[in-house]
Structure 1
Amino acid sequence: MAQFECKRQRTVTMRIVIHGFGRIGRVILRQILTTPDHADIEVVAVNDLAQPDTCAYLFKYDSVFGPLPGGVTYQDGLLQAAGRAIPLLTGVRMADLPLEDVDLVLDCTGALKDRETAEAALTAGARAVLISGPSEIADITIVRGANEDQIGDSRVVSNASCTTNALAPLLRDLDTRYGLIQGHMTTIHCYTGSQPMVDAPRGPDLARNRAGAVSMVPTTTSAAKLIDRVLPDLAGRVTGAAVRVPAISVSAVDLVVRLRTPPQDPATALRALAEANPVIGLVEDPCVSVDLRARTESLVIAPNETLATGDQIRIFGWYDNEWGFSARMLDVARMMHQRGK
């Protein structure tokens, strides 16, 4: 497979294939290429259904994060960016990707629904598969900061959803420190590619058939169900809903909880909680969503938005649902790779 060869010019400790080059696939590659901490990751190949020149263009110019520093070119089957030459493939089945001696396949297609396809990737040489979203076929769903100690030797892992990554670490810490009685979360979520830009039939959720860039759209979220999976001790204690809003990036969690032993000063308690958890950040200034773009934390708490009445506390936090989630994908990928080393 000479056409798949990618020259190693750095000290490489992890070899990955990115299967699916949509929003998350592109943001993951952008982080790999622009973050010095990821210089040791070799991207063996990128694969997508779209034509390579279109993929290269969408990677070069991004409506959310801006042009990639240094530019991007595509020539002779290679995506050239940040001094690297990465094979860019079109429409290759997962099992037919160049998977020999590959540590992980990062499946970012949103379309991996059958276990047989994942197993075929393992048979073809990949050591593990990490899925960028909720999955019924995964061995386990892992959220860093919530249940990463459960990863074990699972070879097909789900990275949950962006909202679950924002919520689960906070819930775990609240329950550990103060005892969670119950809670309700509303995610104020930017529109995504699952919504039409103009009114159009997209599915059974009628409100989600309306133009996402001009209206707030009440809908559901998978986060509450996934919390039960990630934190089974909290099963049945947290409900969730969503409102899609006309913003292109950065979402928010609005959480109301009842605690057994609520802290006397909730805002100060949240600051301490964030300082102790590497995936939870803080913002003290009165910010709006655009100010949180490209923050790597799973959740950025705004303690000044905290309200308390008796044992009930309202907590507000921001999360970049693309950048933060992609950072967690790379975190979990490293955890999977480092097992047993």
Structure 2
Amino acid sequence: MRIAINGFGRIGRTILRQILTRTDCAGIEVASINDIAPLDTCAYLFRYDSVFGPFQDAVTAGPGRLGVGDRAIPFTSKHDLGALDLSGVDVVLECTGTVGTREGAARGLSAGARNVLISGPCDAAERTLVIGANEDTLGDARIVSNASCTTNALAPLLRAIHDDRGIARGHTTTIHCYTGSQPMVDAPRGDLARSRAGALSMVPTTSSATRLVGRVLPALEGRITGAAVRVPVASVSAIDAVLTLERPLEGDPKDLLRRIATASPVIGAIDDPCVSSDLRARPESLVIALPETLSADPHQVRVFGWYDNEWGFSARMIDMARAMAAR
């Protein structure tokens, strides 16, 4: 599979880290990287990462290329996706976070790529897909949104529980690390609470996953409410879901969650009492914290789970790109 990465920010760099270090990614060729930031800066930020640590191979910047070990990856700095040469590229990973229209996304196709995969919610995409929830509806879509990191954590869990017990209704609270959308010091933002310094306070806000769950899982449209709290940690987030079930639990609710984790390719489970930093760089979309499971009665269950919102989401970008390229 040949891919191109458009946008070399947190997700773009994490995708490249995984492609270069995971043995199961040996067959993926990175045809090109595009970012409007200076190449020297992009090389530096790939070499030194405050969350995942220094990259263990040599990273260099040369004329029009990013050198990583013995690889020389072509690097361009164009503002327009349509101006790139994507001939022979199976999937361009659109990781700029700026594409909001079908016309903008389709410029990746006109540049020569067979498919465009967008690393976030995008109403202009033909499909919004989540591995473990609705990837079977890919069909012939060529412009796909990989939804959000929280939707990737939540939707596979909801799908599995709904298939087994049925979900009548539920509420989920996302406990999310701060991101680049928040300021380091108090500064104006559209959301007044999110105008406050992200590393100093817990900030109540909204979550796009509340809206996207209904799009990914139409059977649960209108049944799940949600909110979020941004917290002063740099990586690893969590979901705290309380669900009312249509059919009662049978026995220990942990048994159901263990079965779900065993059967799912993207959900894990832990029995140890872990904290967020213990889950850094875990590839699963969600890791259920079994000791946190609660049940007030057989028709209700509380599920708490961790997810590395950068590493796990980037792993799903690779999985989805594979699915798109394999058609």
TM-score by length of structure 2 reads: 0.98
Q: Distance in 1 between matches of 2:261 and 2:110?
A: 41
Equivalent position to 1:319, from 307, 311, 315: 307
Residue type at the aligned position of 2:129: I
Could you list the structure 1 runs, at least 4 aligned residues long, displaced by more than 6 angstroms after superposition: none
Deviations 1:103-143 (A, max 9, x none): 11100000001211222221221101000000010000000
Q: Which residue of 1 aligns with 2:267?
A: 280
Cα deviation per residue 1:189-216 (whole Å; 9 max; x = unaligned)?
A: 000000000000122x100000000100
State the one-letter code of the partner of 1:300. V
Structure 1 spans left out of the alignment, 5+ residues: 1-13
- C-alpha distance in structure 2 between counterparts of 1:314 and 1:225, whole Å: 21
Aligned counterpart in structure 2 of residue 233 of structure 1, from 219, 222, 225:
219
Equivalents in 1 of 2:218, 2:69: separation in Å? Answer: 43
Q: Decide which of 305, 311, 336 is 2:324's aligned counterpart.
A: 336
Deviation per CA, 1:251-294: give whole Å up to 9, x if none: 00000001122322101211111111010001111110000000
Partner Cα distance (1:327, 1:245) in 2? 23
Q: Distance in 2 between matches of 1:119 and 1:148?
A: 21
Find the aligned partners of 2:205 and 2:100 in 1 and give their Cα distance.
23
Distance of 2:159 and 2:69 partners within structure 1: 38
Question: 234, 246, 255: which one pairs with 1:260?
Answer: 246
How far apart are 1:83 and its partner, in Å? 2.1
Secondary structure at 2:60's aligned position in 1?
A: strand
Name the residue aligned to 1:207: 193
Report the CA distance between 1:24 and its aligned residue.
Answer: 0.3
| SS of 1:181 mapped into structure 2 | strand
Inter-partner Cα distance in structure 2 for 1:120 and 1:62? 31
Partner-residue secondary structure (3-state), 1:281: strand
Q: What is the Cα deviation at residue 92 of structure 1?
A: 4.1
Give the aligned length.
Answer: 325
Structure 2 counterpart of 1:154, one-letter code: A
What displacement does 1:303 show? 1.1
Segments of 5+ residues of structure 2 without an aligned counterpart are none
Question: Does 2:199 match 1:248?
Answer: no
Deviation readout 1:40-70 (Å, 9 max, x if unpaired): 1111111111110000000000000001111
Is it true that 1:218 corresponds to 2:208 in the alignment?
no
Q: Give, as a single letter, the amino acid of the residue that structure 2 aligns with 1:147.
A: N
Aligned residue number for residue 291 of structure 1: 278
1-side partners of 2:248 and 2:46: how far apart?
46
* Separation in 1, partners of 2:302, 2:152: 19
Contact in 2 for aligned 1:103/1:337 (Cα 8 Å): yes
Q: Give the Cα–Cα distance (whole angstroms) in 2 for the partners of residues 283 and 83 of structure 1.
A: 38
Task: Please tell me whether the aligned partners of residues 94 and 119 of structure 2 are also in contact (alpha carbons under 8 angstroms).
Answer: yes
The one-letter code of the counterpart of 2:164 is: R
1:196 pairs, out of 177, 183, 207, with 183
Offset at residue 93 of structure 1 (A): 1.4
Check whether the contact 2:78–2:84 (CA below 8 A) recurs between aligned residues. Answer: no
- Residue pair 2:284, 2:312 contacting (<8 A) in 1 also: yes
One-letter identity of the residue aligned with 1:219: T
Equivalent position of 1:164 in the other structure: 151
CA deviations on 1:227-267 (whole Å, 9 max, x unpaired) are: 00000011000011000000000000000001122322101
**Contact 1:183 / 1:256 at 8 angstroms: preserved in 2?**
yes
3-state DSSP class of the match of 2:73?
Answer: strand
**Shift in Å, 1:91:** 2.7
- 2:295 is paired with a residue of what secondary structure? strand
